[in-house]
Amino acid sequence: MKILVTGGAGYIGSHVTKYLLDKGYKVSVLDNLSNGRREFVDKRAKFHKGDLANKDDIKKALKSCQAAMHFAASASVPDSVKNPGEYFVNNVSNGLNLLEVMWELGVNYLIFSSSAGVYGNPIRVPIKEDDPKIPTHPYGLSKLMFEEILEWYNRAYDLKSISLRYFCAAGADPRGGIGEDHRPETHLIPVVLDVALGRRDHVEVFGGDFDTPDGTGVRDFVHVMDIAESHAVALKHLLEEKQSEIFNVGIGKGYSVLEVIKAAEEVTGKKIKFKKVGRRPGDPDKLVADVGKIRSALGWEAKNKDLKDMIEDAWEWHKSYFQK
């Protein structure tokens, strides 16, 4: 079976591509390399440099595929607040181009890379899939909009999809070669590791007055290799059951920012300086997944639940990539 992976040169997309290839799938990658890295794309995949804004690019990459996994997106929460138009164009309008080409070519199965950002400030923790969704930033709203578009394509065109709402992706393939490299980097663990490597002076800790044990925000970190596996399991389920669904992807446990910093110090053996600064608007106290639905429906559960193990894998890659 051949699968199109959009955004396959990015952090999560490149890990999923490698995982699919290891499982015997053929993979076609479409990426414009605006954020992705060409060297992250497994050599076994067919790479197409192109853009979802161009339907001809999509048609070339989607040719002879039987399903698609859609990762391509603008994905920075702070940037989305400053540049909302970019997020609605890239994450909604360009995503519609993919759906239109899929419909035209008769490709009826899609796994969508969604986000816990759709929930906004949750009414409870852990968060269930049917809890209220009130995004507090354009990035989260763009993901929610696309989920709703998929529901209408399901009804009108019988395009079946599974949306996977990840919480905080972390780690790297322990076999090496690919990892997390956003430019600029805003994700907590790689920023912390940058400090450990001496690539930046300190970590900015946003807020110290959250309703959490140590006053810093709590997040559910899930290993990127577990996320990759969840995609393969979701695709198998979608092909067998032919029913659209939405699932949280996390470990069901949260770690605070200060706990992440402490764990990184233990892994790296380095003292990691941090400075507390003001809270970012819309940052919730806690984001932790209820993973009961995906466990029950798909039989899937994250294997790598230890924060230090996730940081260890990320650290090994970080050192090898940035100390060349």
pLDDT at 185 (0 to 100): 87
Give backbone dihedrals phi and psi of 273, rounded to 5 degrees, phi first: -75, 145
To the nearest whole number, what is the mean pLDDT of the chain?
96
pLDDT over 80 at 85, yes or no:
yes
* pLDDT per residue as tens digits for the range 241-300: 999 999 999 999 999 999 999 999 999 999 999 999 998 877 889 999 999 999 999 999
Residue 157 has, within 13 A of its CA and on its CB side, a CA count of 20
pLDDT tens column, 12-66 = 999 999 999 999 999 999 999 999 999 999 999 999 999 999 999 999 999 999 9
For 116, which DSSP code?
A: G
Domain boundaries, the chain: 2-168+222-249, 188-219+252-322
Confidence of residue 215 (pLDDT cuts 50, 70, 90): very high
Give the CATH H-level superfamily of domain 2-168+222-249.
NAD(P)-binding Rossmann-like Domain (3.40.50.720)
Long-range contacts of 312-316 (CB under 8 A, 24+ apart): 312/267, 313/171, 313/172, 313/173, 313/174, 313/223, 314/170, 314/171, 314/172, 314/179, 314/180, 314/189, 314/190, 314/193, 315/193, 315/196, 315/264, 315/267, 315/268, 316/172, 316/174, 316/176
* pLDDT surpasses 70 at 324: no
Best CA proximity match to 102, nearest among 71, 73, 67, 72: 67
Amino acid at 324: K
Residue at token pair 């990840």: 166
pLDDT at 100 over 80: yes
Active site residues: 139
Class of the 188-219+252-322 domain? alpha beta
User: Would you say the pTM of this structure is higher than 0.85?
Assistant: yes
